[in-house]
Chains A and B, each alone.
Chain A
Amino acid sequence: MNALTISTAITTGRVELVNTRQRSLFTARFRVLWVVALFALIAIVALMRIAYIGVVQPGPAHTSMAEALLPPRGEITDRNGVPLARAFPAYALWFNPTALGDGGAPLVKTPAEVAAQLVQIFPDMDAKWLARRLASGKAGYLRRRVLPEEANRVQAIGELALEVPREADRHYPQGTMAAHVLGYVGADGHGRVGMEAVLDKQLLDPAQRGKPAMLSIDSRVQGALEDELRRGMLAVDAVGAAGLVLDVDTGEVMALASLPEFDPNKIDVAGEKNMFNRVTNQVYELGSTFKPLTMAAAIDAGVVTDLSRRYQSARPLEMGGFRIRDSHVMGPTLNVPEALIHSSNIVTAQVADELGGKALQRYMTDLGMHERPYIELPARGFPIWHKGDWPRLRTMTVSYGHGIAVTPLHLASAYATMVNGGIWRPATLYKVEPGHAAKGRRVFKASTSARMNQLMRMIAVYGTGKSADAPGFRVGGKTGSAEKPGVGGYRRSSLVSTFAAAFPMDRPRYVVIAMLDEPKGTAASSYQRTAAWNAAPIVGRLVPRIGPLLGVMPDENHDIDLTDLAPLVGGKKE
């Protein structure tokens, strides 16, 4: 009885055990699948995230060794390979108030102490401004372009909040030189203003940035042009100056300067005001420099066939209540060479009147005066150009450079056309390989061009351009002193004085334009404000400097033959 009870209990226990084992095993086996499903779910999430990253991630999909060795932004050089803009791996000074990470004060020392130490490293920084900046607790740049040794000294201050991240900066080794041509690189890493903006894509393209972008600029010529322009500008206290040197056969811009300049290495408010490019963006009434163009058109059209023909020049021309007069009476009559030498508005207007508005308009259109100038720079001014048929008065004023406003670059291209045999070509800032110059379009006959070369040279020899006549360089050119339009008509006191020249006139190679904005009469210009006294001397000093650099040697024994025309102007120097 007893034994039976025990045995039943044990049997029950055994059954229970086996049951438990079976159930436990079954549950465990079944739930193992749950665990598999859980891990599979996590893995799917991870894979989807990887796919998301792979599809959405921005750009830098490939990095190569070769690319790492390239500059972050391509170099820009002048036509001889002299670097004008180069990549400059520098540091920046960044204020990170959360660097300490404890939510307390961003700095260990007081802002004033840190500011004082920073000023010791960067003497040009303002301690008070820095202290305020550090106390404000706002993250941001304290300074760009920090040199490695300066970065070391900043680290040595021992403030974690002062970070010096590496940045690919841009350096212009020649400082302000050719600033308007080059432009600068903004904080976003993209170019602004000049060729930095134009070439932005190419300079950043890994496939192309290894090779420097070569400009047509010659840095030696550019330097000389800026130097002489600045000297001339300061001497007569002008508000600005512009100049360029253009290859007449290829349209290459050898130098292009707009003053006052800005420093692309250090962009500030004052610099931003000066970014305006007077050569390509500002339109001026360029005055008498248009007279040779009018005369060329008249000769080319067959209106002026006899250079000895005389036009009256004693009386102002009356035209619809408007009087066209000369600065002074130059005699009762003048022929065309004399009119150019003395710069007579009256005679030029009569010639233009004979030529007719339609023809003059066509020549001016052929010279590109009706549209923005051709050059790569983004900032190109639109001329003030009268659309439709020109009335007589308009034709007459345009003939001596009023009632039409163009950029100095327009004028340079037109002069190049006039002296190079009559072919107009777009100006370019890219270096042109020999034989690859733009085809251009014919505006003047070659004979017209040859005649104009003589006349241009005569102005410099006998007329208003004498101070530009650098010995041996056979300079020819025309002055222009135009009153600037102001409120209620022209202002007699503020002028734009221009000298547009070409050299050497026996085989013209380069056009040089020098322009001064609002020159004053100073002792340096004998208290005169006209171009003969301020703009022409700039060219006179510039040509001997740049001529030999550009392959034009001074030669007293060569000159354009003026023997057929000299008698018309009395053959004597004025």
Chain B
Amino acid sequence: MKTSLLRNIFWKRFKRNKIAVIGAIIVFLLFIIAMFAPLFSPYNQNDIDRNHILEPPSFKHPFGTDDLGRDVFSRMLYGARTSLLVGFVAVGISTIIGIFFGSIAGYYGGWTDRIIMRFIDIMLTIPTFFLILAVIAFIGPGIWNIMVVIGLTSWMGVARLVRAEFLSLKEREFVLAAKAIGVSDKRIIFKHILINSLAPVFVSAVLGIAGAVLLESGLSFLGLGVQPPTPTWGNILTLGKDNIEIAWWLSVFPGFAILLTVLGYNLLGEGIRDAFDPRLWEAEQG
């Protein structure tokens, strides 16, 4: 009964926030595009057509063709797939690591906490992009590698968030009561505290996808991310740079797609955060 009431309040608040709804629609459309990319694309995304290289947008090729005569529109549809995949897997990895370190640090405190926090400080000192590039130099580029590397280098925010939640929740009566009746640490961490701190983690995961998409496209743009011929928005932009004087369409469209995607996840994340925020509920109900 109570959860359904909360859910109703959440939806009511979320729907009233127009900007959040725009974000949700963008994200939803991206899902559809990624899922049905083969259906929507007029050409095979990897088909090379030497007779039609670097053609500007036309009815035949809505976003033009690239330096090998491939249809940019079809490649961009598949690019949506790549960025969605990288975003979700990378954020999945970083969220799991973040929850793990954050809950241990917050729950046990003391030395454990100090060591983990120090480690986080160190990770934050080395610029993420430098760290990622250094790792890629050793393990090589490629779609799976960069998912893992982005995940391994972006969990610190989640860990801090989870730790803060644990610090405030672990002194509450329901946790103390659970401890008093002898519930195991593992059970308290997962079943009692973590469950109650998932809302902010979820928000940071949604925002994290935006960050991961940006990182992936940046890496692919440099040629150190997803490798051709797999299409990504980042590696289409590389061609845009190489042909900057003759082919504007190779730069304009993929970049705009990245912007829309990142904007969509950011708006959605902020919207969910506001809808979850009990302080705002009270303010509204007055």
A and B physically associate = no
**Which A residues form the contact surface with B (CB < 8 A)?**
none
